[in-house]
């Protein structure tokens, strides 16, 4: 009896679409499923320098283990391939890892981790307290922050603490007031920047500076990005356009922060920080402080929780 797996309806439909496209492109003389592998290898080398191994890329993209080995190192005694399928190659070239994509043991640039710790210090959260909340030794935590690279596990721990504590007073969480105040004074003397000075899209970028409105070089699709995005057009927002859309939605739309964050593919904490940063800047500039003009209904409580 045959043990060959039968395709389901969705797989058969997908295969039929692929076969139809294949036949059409071949008939037009346009069938070319491969692309040069060298740009893909160069991108993988760049990702490796960031701390993302080839196996991590394969896992993040949902590829089979060693799917990229033929293009990077060769297989079965043969040299590395000079071609790679366009589908896989384009997926690799479009991939840029987020912090959560890195394996725990991966070594990543420490800039963002250090900036987050310094920003929390301006609020009053000392490195000793942060180390304890992260379940790490105080001395080891302090030492690692001076290194040019840290483990992805440590970077994630610090990012989690940053999201939890950026707007929390240490005194409200059991930290002695004199300790928190001393930490704030030391941070001020050291010239650290607080959470509102950092854009969440840029805090991990070593070339970014605090409290800057300078645009970063990102892929865009034409002009008037914010307006076109708000009108429903599918465009890629650069940093300035994303900020403009965020401010418009927070001031004029009847959307809770969660939905604003979802539309912009940001975290709720990042949206809240950007909104608070803009209000603080308006106060400092002597302008009218923006506020949420539209009525935003409260999120319904969980039925079980309400009943309890």
196-237 confidence digits (pLDDT tens): 888 887 788 777 777 643 333 333 445 777 888 788 776 667
With 60 as the cut, is the pLDDT of residue 82 above it? yes
How many domains does the chain contain in total?
3
Judgement on whether residues 76 and 147 belong to the same structural domain of the protein: no
Answer yes or no: pTM beyond 0.85.
Answer: no
Structure tokens at 277: 């940063």
| Closest to 34 (Cα-Cα) out of 94, 93, 89, 95 | 89
| Closest to 230 (Cα-Cα) out of 242, 220, 222, 218 | 242
Go through 52-68 and write b for each residue having 16 or more CB atoms within 10 A of its CB, e for each that does not: bebebbbebeeeeeebb
pLDDT number for residue 176: 93
Write phi, then psi, for 114 (nearest 5 degrees): -65, -40
Judgement on whether residues 74 and 127 belong to the same structural domain of the protein: no
Let me know if residue 208 belongs to a domain: no
Alpha carbons 231 and 253: distance in angstroms, whole number: 13
Name the 3-class secondary structure at 143: helix
Alpha carbons 14 and 241: distance in angstroms, whole number: 37
Judgement on whether residues 81 and 114 belong to the same structural domain of the protein: no
Q: Average per-residue pLDDT in the chain?
A: 81
Judgement on whether residues 60 and 123 belong to the same structural domain of the protein: no
Let me know if residue 99 belongs to a domain: no
Let me know if residue 209 belongs to a domain: no
User: Which has more confidence, 30 or 112?
Assistant: 112
Judgement on whether residues 111 and 190 belong to the same structural domain of the protein: yes
pLDDT number for residue 132: 94
pLDDT number for residue 158: 96
What is the mean predicted confidence (pLDDT) over 49-71? 83
Let me know if residue 51 belongs to a domain: yes
DSSP element (H, E) containing 15: helix 9-27
Give the end-to-end CA distance of the chain in Å, rounded to a whole number: 57
Judgement on whether residues 145 and 187 belong to the same structural domain of the protein: yes
What is the mean predicted confidence (pLDDT) over 250-259? 88
Residue 250 belongs to what domain range?
Answer: 225-285
Q: How many CA atoms lie within 13 A of 212 on its CB side?
A: 12
Let me know if residue 142 belongs to a domain: yes
Judgement on whether residues 112 and 42 belong to the same structural domain of the protein: no
Let me know if residue 302 belongs to a domain: no
Let me know if residue 220 belongs to a domain: no
pLDDT number for residue 115: 94
Judgement on whether residues 125 and 78 belong to the same structural domain of the protein: no
Let me know if residue 18 belongs to a domain: no
């Amino acid at each position: 009896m045959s043990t060959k797996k039968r395709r389901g309806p969705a797989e058969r439909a997908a295969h039929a679409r692929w076969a139809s496209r294949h036949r059409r492109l071949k008939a037009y003389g346009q069938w070319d499923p491969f692309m040069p592998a060298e740009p893909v290898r160069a991108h993988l080398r760049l990702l490796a320098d960031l701390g993302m191994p080839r196996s991590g890329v394969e896992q993040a993209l949902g590829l089979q283990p060693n799917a990229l080995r033929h293009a990077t190192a060769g297989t079965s005694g043969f040299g590395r391939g000079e071609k790679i399928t366009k589908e896989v190659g384009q997926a690799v070239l479009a991939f840029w890892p987020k912090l959560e994509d890195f394996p725990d043991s991966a070594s990543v640039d420490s800039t963002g981790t250090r900036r987050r710790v310094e920003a929390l210090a301006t609020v009053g959260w000392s490195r000793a307290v942060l180390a304890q909340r992260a379940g790490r030794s105080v001395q080891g935590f302090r030492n690692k922050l001076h290194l040019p690279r840290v483990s992805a596990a440590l970077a994630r721990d610090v990012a989690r603490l940053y999201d939890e504590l950026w707007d929390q007073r240490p005194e409200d969480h059991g930290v002695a007031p004199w300790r928190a105040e001393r930490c704030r004074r030391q941070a001020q003397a050291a010239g650290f920047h607080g959470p509102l000075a950092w854009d969440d899209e840029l805090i991990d970028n070593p070339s970014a500076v605090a409290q800057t409105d300078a645009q970063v070089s990102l892929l865009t699709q034409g002009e008037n990005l914010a307006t076109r995005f708000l009108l429903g057009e599918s465009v890629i927002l650069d940093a300035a356009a994303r900020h403009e859309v965020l401010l418009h939605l927070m001031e004029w739309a009847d959307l809770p922060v969660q939905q604003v964050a979802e539309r912009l593919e940001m975290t709720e904490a990042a949206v809240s920080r950007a909104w608070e940063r803009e209000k603080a800047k308006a106060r400092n500039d002597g302008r009218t402080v923006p506020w949420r003009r539209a009525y935003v209904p409260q999120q319904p409580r969980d039925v079980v929780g309400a009943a309890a």
